[in-house]
Amino acid sequence: MSKTVAQSERIHIAFVGRRNVGKSSLMNKFIGQDLVIVSDIPGTTTDPVKKAMELLPFGPVVLIDTAGIDDVGELGEKRISKTIKTISEVDFAILVLDSQQKLTQYEIELIEQLKNFDVNFIAVINKSDLGINYELIEELQKFGIKYHPVSCITSEGIYELKEKVAQLLPKDEEVPLIGDLIKQHDLIVLVVPIDLGAPKGRLIMPQVQTIRESLDEDAIVLVTKDKELRAALGKLNQKPKLVVTDSQAIMRVAADVPEDIMLTTFSILMARYKGDITEYVRGLLRIEELENGDKVLIAEACTHHAQEDDIGRVKIPRWLRLHTKKNIEIDVVSGHDFPQNLHEYKLIIHCGGCTLTRKMMQTRIKQARYMGIPIVNYGIAISYLHGEIPRVLQPFPEALVEWEKIHTKLKVK
C-alpha cells in the first residue's frame, strides 16, 4: 500500500524558465505521464500546475510547472508574479533552458531571484537532440551553475536527471514536532476538544502528526477531550511527562494540570515545526504597543467554513481588544497569499500553518521581517492573552530565553 504524505510534508520542486523551452514537456517526462498540456505556442502554462509523486530514491515531492518568466501583456505580468511567488516558496528549482539559445536577461534575473530566495537549483539544457551549445555551457560554467542536458523528444538524459535531482534536493532540516521532548515509555496526554469547530469524524493534522511522532518515539499516548481531562489525570498512577492541548482550551486545561507537569499547545508545537518560535515570542511585544486605530492582520493559510465562534474571526479579535483595551481594526485573510497592503498592518497573527510547507511558512516570516511587521502565531498569542506564557514555553528553552528579554521590556513599559 502506498504511503499518503500530506502536500505540506513534501519537498516542492518548480520547473522555471522562459516560454517554450520545454518546461511542461520536461515535467511530463519527469512524472512519466502527460499531466501538463504541451504545445509549441508560447505561454501555454498559465497558473502553476502541481503534481505529487515519489521521486526515488529521495521520496515524496510535489512538482510545479510555472508560467514562462518572459510572459507578455497584463495577464502575462500576473502570471510572472505568480511564478516569482512560487519560486519564493519552493525547496528546489529546475531552470529549463533551450540548447539552441544563449542565456538572456530573463534567465540572469531568474538566477538572481533563486539565489535571493535561497533556492538551490540545476539548469537543464533541453532539446539536446538538436546539438550541443558549447557557448551556453561556457556561460553556465562562468556562473558556477550545475547543468544537465536532456531531450524530451528522445528521453535522453531524463533518468540521469531524476537521479541527479534526488541527490541535490535539500535534506530534511529535521525540525521535530514533539519527538525531542519525549523518550521511550514517557506518558503524554493530548487534549483534543470536540467542539463545533472540530472537523466531523477526524482529527486535525497537528493532532495526528503529534500522535504519530510520539508513537515513533515509543511514548505512551493518552488522548482525551478537555472536559474529561481532570477525570483522565485522576485515573493515572503516574504523572504524565507532558500535556499538549488545543490552544483554545488553554485556560481550562492549565487549571486542571498541576504546575509540576509540563504543558504546551499544538499550535506552539507548530510554531517551532513550521515557523520560528523565538520570532513569534518577540512579536508579543507589539501587542502591548498597539494603539487605537492600528490594524492587525489575522492570517489563516487555508480556507474553512467559519463557525459562529470562529477562532480567527471572533475569539482572537475579542481577546485582543479585551487585553489591549484599544479600538483595533482587525482584518482576516485566508489562503496562500498575504494581502497586497501588508505594510498597513502593525502586527500579523498567523495560524499554525499546518497546510504550508516549512519553506512557505519561513517565506511568510521573512516577508513580515523584511517589512518590519512583528508576527506571532495563534498558539503563542492565545497563551499570552490568557496569561499562560511562560508556562507553555517551558519545553522550549530558546523561546523562554527570548521571553525573559521581552518580559523585561514589558515590565519597563
353 binds ligand SF4 (CB under 6 A): yes
Q: Between 157 and 352, whose beta carbon lies closer to ligand SF4?
A: 352
Residue 292 CB coordination number (10 Å): 10
Residues in the interface with ligand SF4 (CB under 6 A) total 8
Scanning 18-26, 221-229, 336-344, 352-360 for contacts with ligand SF4 by CB under 6 A, the matching segment is: 352-360
Q: How far is the CB of 390 from ligand SF4 (least distance, A)?
A: 23
**Binding-site member from 302, 371, 401, 410 for ligand SF4 (CB under 6 A):** 302
- Pattern 355-374, binding to ligand SF4, x per CB under 6 A? x-------------------
**Grid-cell match 506552539, residue found:** 268
**Residues sharing a CB contact under 8 Å with residue 356, sequence separation 6 or more, in sequence order:** 8, 274, 301, 336, 364
17 binds ligand SF4 (CB under 6 A): no
Q: How far is the CB of 301 from ligand SF4 (least distance, A)?
A: 4
Scanning 75-83, 110-118, 190-198, 300-308 for contacts with ligand SF4 by CB under 6 A, the matching segment is: 300-308
Secondary element (H or E) of residue 259: none
Is the bond leading into 390 cis (omega within 30 degrees of zero)? yes
**Grid-cell match 499546518, residue found:** 354
- Coil/strand/helix, residue 331: strand
Secondary element (H or E) of residue 121: strand 120-126
Q: How far is the CB of 213 from ligand SF4 (least distance, A)?
A: 17
Scanning 46-54, 159-167, 172-180, 297-305 for contacts with ligand SF4 by CB under 6 A, the matching segment is: 297-305
**Binding-site member from 14, 257, 301, 360 for ligand SF4 (CB under 6 A):** 301
Q: Between 45 and 247, whose beta carbon lies closer to ligand SF4?
A: 247
Secondary element (H or E) of residue 244: strand 242-245
**Ramachandran sector of residue 157 (left: φ over 0; alpha: ψ -120 to 50; beta: rest):** left
351 binds ligand SF4 (CB under 6 A): yes
382 binds ligand SF4 (CB under 6 A): no
- Joined together, the cell numbers standing for residue 61 give 515531492
Q: Is residue 147 within 8 Å of 137, Cβ to Cβ?
A: yes
Q: Between 112 and 309, whose beta carbon lies closer to ligand SF4?
A: 309
Scanning 116-124, 298-306, 379-387, 389-397 for contacts with ligand SF4 by CB under 6 A, the matching segment is: 298-306
Cα 161 from chain centroid (whole Å):
27
Q: Between 353 and 395, whose beta carbon lies closer to ligand SF4?
A: 353
CA 367 – CA 335 distance, rounded (Å): 16
Scanning 126-134, 217-225, 251-259, 347-355 for contacts with ligand SF4 by CB under 6 A, the matching segment is: 347-355
**Binding-site member from 240, 352, 374, 395 for ligand SF4 (CB under 6 A):** 352
Residue 196 CB coordination number (10 Å): 9
CA 51 – CA 61 distance, rounded (Å): 8
Q: Between 97 and 349, whose beta carbon lies closer to ligand SF4?
A: 349
Residue 173 CB coordination number (10 Å): 8
Q: Is residue 12 within 8 Å of 357, Cβ to Cβ?
A: yes
68 binds ligand SF4 (CB under 6 A): no
Q: Is residue 385 within 8 Å of 319, Cβ to Cβ?
A: yes
CA 318 – CA 365 distance, rounded (Å): 24
Q: How far is the CB of 356 from ligand SF4 (least distance, A)?
A: 6
**Binding-site member from 276, 279, 300, 388 for ligand SF4 (CB under 6 A):** 300
Query: What is the binding site for ligand SF4 (CB under 6 A)?
Result: 300-302, 351-355
